[in-house]
Chains A and B, each alone.
Chain A
Amino acid sequence: MADFDLESLIHVEQNFYDSGYTDGFDHGRIHGLIEGRALGREKGFEMWEELGFYEGFALTWKGIFAMQGREDDRASNHIRHLLELIAQFPRVNLSASDTSSELDIPKLFRQIRSRYKALCSTLGVRPSLRAAENNSPAEDEDTESQAELRQGLTVTGNGGERKNVWKVEGKGRPTGQDLSF
């Protein structure tokens, strides 16, 4: 009889825990979605504002050259490549689709930046600070250009001080399963 009592008591504890866990999980999900959305918005804006800038810049110069009847010079070549590279850049966060994707985002980002800078030097124009360092005043990293590159990296990897943010999308999406009983 003592045995039975003990058994059922453990079970009862488990039941309390479980019912608390389920409620907590639902509440936590709401918070996770809200906080995740806020972070994703910021990051998506930051990345695509920069890429959009290059795109608008390249498209406009393309239009200017077309108007002037210039076609096959070096600048046009840079423009074409730049636009091609930007077109490859995903508009959704990669971790969502599949992690096995062969797309190397940091590399692509670097290529886009250097192609933009090449275009600028061909045009004899000073490149936007975006290509060199982060012009966002809210950025607190000390070595800007490095930090900027690292940011590109961290979208899929885990990097530096932002680890707590980006581990979200690290290896495999975390599920409650590992933590549940």
Chain B
Amino acid sequence: MDSPWDENPDYNTSREAEWTRMSTDFTNVGYREGITAGKESALQEGFDSGFANVGAPIGRDLGILRGMCSAIVTSLTSSTGGETESMAIEARDIAAKLSDIRFSDISPRDLEAEEHARQHLEDDEHGMDVNEEIAEKREVEGLEDMLAKLTAGTSMGAHETGRPTEDDVRVLKGRLENLVQRMGITVNWS
């Protein structure tokens, strides 16, 4: 009378299975909702840190170089002379190379993201989803690369293989600083 079910082992196991199923179900529901809430809670924090620590400073540095170059090109083309001519050619070359640089070429790796994506690959076969807006951008860049390769053969062949790197930016910056010096101007930027 106390526990009549004890005598029925079949019923007992099915009860256990039921219990396990229930625990998994509730845990899973909680997990799913937790993921959504956790993600929401951290998006802003991540955004702000990416904006302030990576995007804004790198963008500003590259933008300043491009702006300087643009000013130099325009100021040199308005005047003529042998020395100016060669400086203008140099300025235009730097400008062209600077304009080819993309953020994805010079942005530092997000090691935490890479590590986490690796974990996902190990745990389940499908990797981590990438934000669609960014994925789209990369896709367009890939298409650009393909087009560049196609036209490289027929036109001037100016396209080198491989994307520019941070080192290339440093070299261009050095060339720009040289040019500024040759022009005899002082540009105060921090």
Q: Please report the C-alpha to C-alpha distance between residue A66 and residue B54 in the assembled complex, in whole angstroms.
A: 33
Q: In the complex, which of the residues B27, B36, B64 contacts A55, with contact meaning CB atoms closer than 8 Å?
A: B64
The answer to the question of A160 belonging to the interface, with a C-beta cut-off of 8 Å to chain B, is no
Q: Please report the C-alpha to C-alpha distance between residue A112 and residue B70 in the assembled complex, in whole angstroms.
A: 17
Q: Is the interface of A mostly helix, strand, loop or mixed?
A: helix
Q: In the complex, which of the residues B38, B49, B186 contacts A63, with contact meaning CB atoms closer than 8 Å?
A: B186
Q: Please report the C-alpha to C-alpha distance between residue A53 and residue B136 in the assembled complex, in whole angstroms.
A: 25
**Which of A24-32, A102-110, A142-150 is the interface stretch?**
A24-32
Q: Please report the C-alpha to C-alpha distance between residue A142 and residue B31 in the assembled complex, in whole angstroms.
A: 40
B8 to chain A: closest CB distance in Å? 19
Q: A9 — nearest CB in chain B belongs to which residue?
A: B22
Q: Is the CB of B47 within 8 A of A17?
A: no
Q: Please report the C-alpha to C-alpha distance between residue A131 and residue B58 in the assembled complex, in whole angstroms.
A: 20
Q: In the complex, which of the residues B33, B46, B66 contacts A35, with contact meaning CB atoms closer than 8 Å?
A: B46
The answer to the question of A93 belonging to the interface, with a C-beta cut-off of 8 Å to chain B, is yes
Q: B30 — nearest CB in chain A belongs to which residue?
A: A20
The answer to the question of A19 belonging to the interface, with a C-beta cut-off of 8 Å to chain B, is yes
Number of interface residues of A (CB under 8 A): 74
Which residues of chain B are within 8 angstroms of A22 by Cβ–Cβ distance? 30, 34
Which residues of chain B are within 8 angstroms of A138 by Cβ–Cβ distance? 136-137, 140-141
Q: Please report the C-alpha to C-alpha distance between residue A51 and residue B67 in the assembled complex, in whole angstroms.
A: 9
The answer to the question of B75 belonging to the interface, with a C-beta cut-off of 8 Å to chain A, is yes
B136 to chain A: closest CB distance in Å? 7
In the A-B complex, the 6 residue pairs with the smallest Cβ-Cβ separation, listed nearest first, are: A52-B63, A44-B55, A36-B46, A24-B34, A28-B38, A56-B67
- B residues whose Cβ falls under 8 Å from a Cβ of A: 22-23, 25-52, 54-72, 74-75, 78, 103, 107, 110, 112-113, 116, 128, 130-131, 133-134, 136-137, 140-141, 144, 180, 183-189
- A residues whose Cβ falls under 8 Å from a Cβ of B: 13, 16-64, 66-67, 91-93, 95-96, 123-125, 128, 137-138, 140, 162, 165, 168-169, 173-176, 179-180
